[in-house]
Chain A
Amino acid sequence: MRTRAAVVAGVVVAVALAAGVALWATRGGDATGWSAPQAAGPGADADAAVAGDGTAVAAWAEEHRGATAVVTAERRPGGDWGAPRTILPAQRWTVRNVSVAAGAGGDVTVAFRLIGRRGGRGLVMGAHRPAGGGWEAPQALTRVGAGYGDLATAVAPDGGVAVATAAVGTRTHLDATVRDPGGLWTDPQEVARGLIVARPGVAVAPGGRAYVATVEGFGRSTHLALYVHAGGDWRAAPAPTGADDGVGAVALAVGGDGVPVVAWTRRGPGGATTLAASALRGGAWNPAQVLDRGPLATTFGDLAVAPAPGGAAVAWARWGREWTRVAVRAALVRDGRAAPPADVDVFDIPDIRAGAQVSTPGPPPTRISVSQAGSPVLLWDRLVGRAPAVAGRLQVSRASASGMWTPPEAVDAAPIDGWPLAVGAARDRVVATWAEYVSPATGGIRVIASERIG
């Protein structure tokens, strides 16, 4: 009898140990090859970038007792987040629109918006860290103006920087400032004024030539507007054909071959939408290539363009079936021409409508990030739950030299309440970063990083 009890107890212990080991293994991501998630932050707002060597850089607005500091942390490949470093000491103004960009060469810029207490006025500030150097003191990059707006930052492989911001207000204007490779910040310039209706895209080519793309107009009479910074001034540049009416979203990058590539969505007659791209070669835009079509004005969601070896990668989310199925697609652009788009992922999501009677049509909720250096890597989220909290599963796919995309693989076994931030591919690993809400009750965002060897 005693022997039988001992055997039963041993079996119970063994099963419990096995279950624990299994849980630990799945949580740690070992089953998929991803390292255990590591957190930095939290802050009221946060962003991250991955440099060309796989170093992740996070920045967040740390609020405490009515004062806000801007703090950064870096995570080198194979390591953990380093000690947080304050680049803007705690001060009285609100910090939002934290934007981090890292170049292939390791230069990093953190831009953010300081907003007055009543929100009516603010300015953009930026801090730069040259590759291998230390953080410079934050610098005002715009004049004090409207308190809110969009902010976009780009860093070139040689360290050139461009920051563009489109203010929200009755007299909207788009301002930009640049920093030459190895140089200093220049004073901001007003790039455009008028009805700016889309988040600007910004890109910098090696040597310091900078580009800004946005959408201007009103109602359906919206067109793609491009501006180039060369010789110390911003000037309007011709836009690709087919982007002169009904343009909704725009994304821009300078490809690995130094050729700017722009992608946009355009609403046509009957509400159908097209997604097109063009490359600027020899001072002229190639004929626009339609990469995708959708029957709805809201067919397309997140749109991204990023440098890729020998060209650029264009990625986007679209409805596969409105409200319940999403497709993530991508196309590689080489020699100024886009290859046929690939379905990187197609997945079902919970119906995101609050109710058929009260939901207006909207784009798919999927967020996409594309690596800024090395071979293209996509990071996106699959929505898997809505209640009690939003839950998503992060997925990664990498393009091979032949342009084939690997099957999606999960970054973390546990669903997250957050969104993808940045992904990067170094020679021997892929690094993914994302944002997670700390708590529905207390708020706060932390930046998570994980990596996979191989």
Chain B
Amino acid sequence: MPELEALLRDARPDWPEPSAAAGARARAALGFAPSPRSPRGWLTRTARARGTRLLIPAALLLTAGAAVAATLISTGSSGAPAGRPAALDFGPPDAVGGPVSLIDGLPAVAVDGRGVVTVAWGRAGRIVVSSRVPGGGWSAPERVSDPARRAAYPRVGTDRDGDVTVVWRERIAATRVTQRFTLPSGAPAGYLTELTGQRWAVVARTRPADGSWSPARRLSDETASVRDMEAPGLVVMPDGRTVVTWDVAGSMWSRGRAPGGDWSPAERVGGDRGEAVDPQLAGAPSGGAVLTWSNRIETGTGRRYAIRAAVQDADGTWGDAEVIDDAAVNPPHAAPALGRGGDAAVAWISESMDRTETSASVRPAGGDWSAAALVDATPRLFGLRGAPAIGGDGRAVVLSGPRGAAAVRGDDGVWRPLPLSPVAGRAFGLAAFADGAGGVVVVRGAAEPSRLVVERAGGAGDPVRRATSASSTAPVAAAGPDGTTALAWARSGPSTAAVVAVAEPPR
């Protein structure tokens, strides 16, 4: 028995205590009545019958056994060690390199199990990567894409051991046509030029920890439409399982890779007759992924966006793509989140002439998507993409703009405001994530003066404020299981650069 207790204690994640409601749900699931409020109550409510008394240790043993089994299954499937809370003591932002081709997408950032931070961005049509070991400086930006091919929209992911995967969209074929003109005198008037026969594909490269980059691997079929594959998705789980997604016409496609294995065949995740736009992919440390996108359906004044979401189980199987909402007339900028337990959430915005609403839908593991619920509304025309996250307790949190308000979904399904520290100025970017300990961290970019405000959604600790350059893009965030946290953004304006701020845990 002491061994069992030690095993349970060691295997217990360093999460905050579950909420009272979560405890009540667990007790109800086990068939227990609401817990007594005092030892006296316990004594008065304990069954006196011998048979009933014997049932109690049997139930305890059964529960302990189930917990051990669950822990072993979890360890076996994800290999995730106990995570640590995200460090928020950020050092000064580092301008890792530049320039940044903002038209080719924003910088992407990842943190591996050792605390190594890797950032990737597009530089003049090429994808470059730089990494930083704990306590060290940034490596010189390394080009990973073919210099002869224009590349854009990078994504980066790392596993627990430090293996890095980078994906991007690459122009794999094109023919340049040039026409020269002359002035009436015969002097050159210049030329017009264009590319024809262009083809694009999603490409990936990997680099083992302390190794060298693999050759580029084309993951998708080629497409002739420049509107396809504009936002490849990438999730690398701690054990190395990898999921990549991309859009072609109205459909979403995916390939996966097991640790040490090869890429699986391309699989259609879902889609519709309208163009698939704005795909967003998110994962969870325990495995699995959630993909959301919108199909632009109908035309003219009847144009709408049908938001779809599909969840991939921890074993790599995609579920059906479900329509979550199809009422938006403007791009809904849907964003997904996946919790450790498989709970998923999607948040999106709906803009009208004088009001922007943020709505959300949640899906318990293996369940159905809930009806759309209004999370926030502001009397402004333009909104920010909402940022959902699911904490270790399974609760969904949505950060929404332009005020950067937060809401949490209660057990009764009602979204309630979640107090955050006041932030002056207009929000220009939102991010939210669950750290290794299951706590939700929210990031708000605020203008005038330009800065990032980072804080725990639960209200623990004071917010951390870091100044950014006057013109910055929306931030992206990543946290490693050791607590290392990274925020990345692009400094815009005349001197663009990829900027990263890192917070390291005490070592």
Q: Chain A residues in contact with chain B, CB under 8 A?
A: 91-93, 114, 116-118, 121-123, 125, 139-145, 177, 184-188, 357-358, 441
Question: Main SS of the interface on chain A?
Answer: loop
B191 interface contact, C-beta 8 A = yes
Bound-state Cα–Cα, A141 to B179, Å: 15
**Closest approach, in angstroms, between the C-beta of B499 and any C-beta of chain A?**
25
Bound-state Cα–Cα, A114 to B183, Å: 14
Residues of chain B in range 146-184 having any CB-CB distance to chain A below 8 Å: 177, 179, 181-184
**Closest approach, in angstroms, between the C-beta of A185 and any C-beta of chain B?**
4
User: Is there an interface contact between A114 and B192, defined as CB atoms closer than 8 Å?
Assistant: yes
Q: For B189, list chain A residues within 8 Å (CB).
A: 123, 140, 142-144
Bound-state Cα–Cα, A117 to B185, Å: 27
Q: Can you name 29 A-B residue pairings with CB atoms under 8 Å? A: A92-B179, A93-B179, A116-B192, A116-B194, A121-B190, A122-B192, A123-B181, A123-B189, A123-B192, A125-B181, A140-B181, A140-B182, A140-B184, A141-B184, A143-B183, A143-B189, A143-B190, A144-B181, A144-B191, A144-B192, A145-B190, A177-B184, A185-B184, A186-B184, A186-B185, A187-B183, A187-B185, A187-B187, A358-B353
Bound-state Cα–Cα, A121 to B189, Å: 12
User: Is there an interface contact between A139 and B191, defined as CB atoms closer than 8 Å?
Assistant: no
Known: A186-B184, A188-B183; 20 extra A-B contacts, CB below 8 A, are A91-B179, A92-B177, A92-B179, A114-B192, A116-B193, A121-B190, A123-B181, A125-B181, A140-B181, A140-B182, A140-B183, A141-B184, A143-B183, A144-B181, A144-B190, A144-B191, A145-B190, A184-B184, A186-B185, A357-B354
Among B182, B185, B189, B190, chain A packs the most CB atoms within 10 A around the CB of B189
Bound-state Cα–Cα, A358 to B182, Å: 48
Q: For B353, list chain A residues within 8 Å (CB).
A: 358
Q: For B187, list chain A residues within 8 Å (CB).
A: 187
Of chain A, the residue at the smallest CB distance from B187 is: A187
**Closest approach, in angstroms, between the C-beta of B298 and any C-beta of chain A?**
14
On whether A121 and B183 interact (CB within 8 A), knowing A92-B177, A358-B353, the answer reads no
Bound-state Cα–Cα, A177 to B189, Å: 13
Residues of chain B in range 456-478 having any CB-CB distance to chain A below 8 Å: none
Of chain A, the residue at the smallest CB distance from B186 is: A187
Q: For B194, list chain A residues within 8 Å (CB).
A: 92, 116-118
Q: For B193, list chain A residues within 8 Å (CB).
A: 116
Q: Which 10 A-B pairs have the closest CB atoms?
A: A144-B190, A185-B184, A140-B181, A140-B189, A117-B194, A116-B192, A187-B183, A143-B189, A187-B185, A143-B190
Q: For A92, list chain B residues within 8 Å (CB).
A: 177, 179, 194
Of chain A, the residue at the smallest CB distance from B188 is: A143
**Closest approach, in angstroms, between the C-beta of A190 and any C-beta of chain B?**
13
Contact with A along B429-473 (1 / 0, CB 8 A): 000000000000000000000000000000000000000000000
Of chain B, the residue at the smallest CB distance from A120 is: B192
Bound-state Cα–Cα, A140 to B184, Å: 7
Q: For B191, list chain A residues within 8 Å (CB).
A: 144
Bound-state Cα–Cα, A143 to B188, Å: 8
Of chain B, the residue at the smallest CB distance from A66 is: B196
Q: For A188, list chain B residues within 8 Å (CB).
A: 183
Residues of chain B in range 318-343 having any CB-CB distance to chain A below 8 Å: none
Q: For B179, list chain A residues within 8 Å (CB).
A: 91-93
Of chain A, the residue at the smallest CB distance from B191 is: A144
Q: For B184, list chain A residues within 8 Å (CB).
A: 139-141, 177, 184-187
Of chain A, the residue at the smallest CB distance from B300 is: A441
**Closest approach, in angstroms, between the C-beta of B366 and any C-beta of chain A?**
46
Q: For A91, list chain B residues within 8 Å (CB).
A: 179
Bound-state Cα–Cα, A122 to B190, Å: 9
Bound-state Cα–Cα, A92 to B353, Å: 39
Among A92, A122, A140, A187, chain B packs the most CB atoms within 10 A around the CB of A140
Of chain A, the residue at the smallest CB distance from B185 is: A187
Q: For A142, list chain B residues within 8 Å (CB).
A: 189
Q: For A177, list chain B residues within 8 Å (CB).
A: 184
Bound-state Cα–Cα, A25 to B192, Å: 51
Among A123, A177, A186, chain B packs the most CB atoms within 10 A around the CB of A123
Of chain A, the residue at the smallest CB distance from B299 is: A441
**Closest approach, in angstroms, between the C-beta of A233 and any C-beta of chain B?**
15
Q: For A358, list chain B residues within 8 Å (CB).
A: 353
Of chain A, the residue at the smallest CB distance from B182 is: A140
**Closest approach, in angstroms, between the C-beta of B407 and any C-beta of chain A?**
29
**Closest approach, in angstroms, between the C-beta of A30 and any C-beta of chain B?**
38
Bound-state Cα–Cα, A92 to B196, Å: 10
Among B183, B300, B354, chain A packs the most CB atoms within 10 A around the CB of B183
Bound-state Cα–Cα, A187 to B187, Å: 9
Q: For B182, list chain A residues within 8 Å (CB).
A: 140
Of chain A, the residue at the smallest CB distance from B196 is: A92
Bound-state Cα–Cα, A93 to B190, Å: 14
Bound-state Cα–Cα, A303 to B53, Å: 98
Bound-state Cα–Cα, A91 to B190, Å: 17
**Closest approach, in angstroms, between the C-beta of A397 and any C-beta of chain B?**
38
Q: For A116, list chain B residues within 8 Å (CB).
A: 192-194
Bound-state Cα–Cα, A257 to B346, Å: 73
Q: For B354, list chain A residues within 8 Å (CB).
A: 357
Of chain B, the residue at the smallest CB distance from A355 is: B353
Bound-state Cα–Cα, A114 to B191, Å: 11
Bound-state Cα–Cα, A91 to B177, Å: 12
**Closest approach, in angstroms, between the C-beta of B102 and any C-beta of chain A?**
16
Of chain B, the residue at the smallest CB distance from A440 is: B300
Q: For A125, list chain B residues within 8 Å (CB).
A: 181
Bound-state Cα–Cα, A140 to B188, Å: 10
User: Is there an interface contact between B192 and A93, defined as CB atoms closer than 8 Å?
Assistant: yes
Q: For B192, list chain A residues within 8 Å (CB).
A: 93, 114, 116, 121-123, 144
Of chain B, the residue at the smallest CB distance from A91 is: B179
Bound-state Cα–Cα, A303 to B300, Å: 34
Bound-state Cα–Cα, A428 to B185, Å: 43
Bound-state Cα–Cα, A121 to B192, Å: 7
Q: For A441, list chain B residues within 8 Å (CB).
A: 300
Q: For B300, list chain A residues within 8 Å (CB).
A: 441
**Closest approach, in angstroms, between the C-beta of A66 and any C-beta of chain B?**
10
Bound-state Cα–Cα, A186 to B194, Å: 28
Bound-state Cα–Cα, A441 to B302, Å: 13
**Closest approach, in angstroms, between the C-beta of B500 and any C-beta of chain A?**
31
Bound-state Cα–Cα, A145 to B192, Å: 9
Q: For A118, list chain B residues within 8 Å (CB).
A: 194
Of chain A, the residue at the smallest CB distance from B192 is: A116
**Closest approach, in angstroms, between the C-beta of A450 and any C-beta of chain B?**
32
Q: For A114, list chain B residues within 8 Å (CB).
A: 192
Bound-state Cα–Cα, A268 to B177, Å: 52
Among B177, B189, B192, B194, chain A packs the most CB atoms within 10 A around the CB of B192
